[in-house]
């Protein structure tokens, strides 16, 4: 596993994250049931606090945030707030992948395949499993 690159949680973010874990929507619960099995060996976290925000799902190794958006994200000031949030994470080199809740309910397998493909594309070429090799194995005589 690579070093956690997410910005440290802001004041109260961890407490909000615990609350959000207890109040997940149906699409979030269904998606978590699929992502918690580590599809293709990729680890995801749910309701991950980062900076002033709480991410629905986060893959630290791929620097990928997944947000499940319901209808509320289409109205009022939410689109502008979501854009500001996405830009904040982009500045921290984290890509935000937004998924419509209706898509999770309609075709969960396709959504998971899309998430795994996006994560795979962002993983470094050498994805360390257990750290660096022993010094004797580096080709040094």
Q: What is the pLDDT of residues 108-126, one digit of tens each?
A: 999 999 999 999 999 877 6
Residue 1 lies in a domain: no
129 in any annotated domain: no
Q: Is the pLDDT of residue 127 over 60?
A: no
74, pLDDT greater than 90? no
Residue 5 resides in a domain: no
Segment 4-10 shows an average pLDDT of: 64
The rounded percent of the chain whose pLDDT value lies above 70 is 75
How many independent structural domains does the chain possess? Answer: 1
Residue 53 domain-assigned? yes
Judge whether 139 lies within some domain: no
The mean pLDDT of 80-106, rounded to a whole number, is: 92
CATH (domain of 25): 3.40.960.10
Residues 60 and 5 sit within 8 Å (Cβ to Cβ): yes
Contact 92, 7 (CB under 8 A): yes
Q: Is residue 127 part of a domain?
A: no
Supply the mean pLDDT for the chain. 82
Q: Are 115 and 35 in contact (CB under 8 A)?
A: yes
Residue 136 belongs to some domain of the structure:
no
The predicted pLDDT at position 111 comes to: 96
Query: Range of 117's domain?
Result: 13-121
Average pLDDT on 27-51 reads 92
pLDDT at residue 2 greater than cutoff 80: no
Q: For strand 45-50 and strand 53-59, is the pairing parallel, antiparallel, or unpaired? A: antiparallel
Local confidence band at 107 (pLDDT 50, 70, 90 cut-offs): very high
The pLDDT score that the predictor gives to residue 54 is: 87
126, part of any domain: no
CA–CA separation, 122 vs 103, rounded Å? Answer: 22
């Amino acid at each position: 596993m690579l070093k956690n690159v997410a910005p440290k949680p802001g004041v109260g973010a961890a407490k909000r994250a615990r609350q959000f874990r207890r109040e997940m929507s149906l699409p979030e619960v269904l998606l978590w049931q699929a992502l918690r099995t580590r599809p293709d060996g990729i680890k995801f976290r749910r309701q991950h606090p980062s900076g002033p925000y709480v991410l629905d799902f986060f893959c630290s190794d791929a620097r990928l945030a997944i947000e499940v958006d319901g209808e509320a994200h289409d109205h009022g000031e939410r689109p502008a707030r979501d854009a500001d949030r996405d830009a904040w994470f982009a500045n921290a080199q984290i890509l935000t992948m937004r998924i419509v809740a209706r898509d999770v309910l309609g075709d969960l397998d396709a959504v998971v395949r899309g998430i795994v493909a996006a994560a795979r594309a962002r993983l470094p070429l050498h994805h360390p499993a257990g750290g660096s090799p022993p010094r004797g194995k580096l080709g040094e005589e």
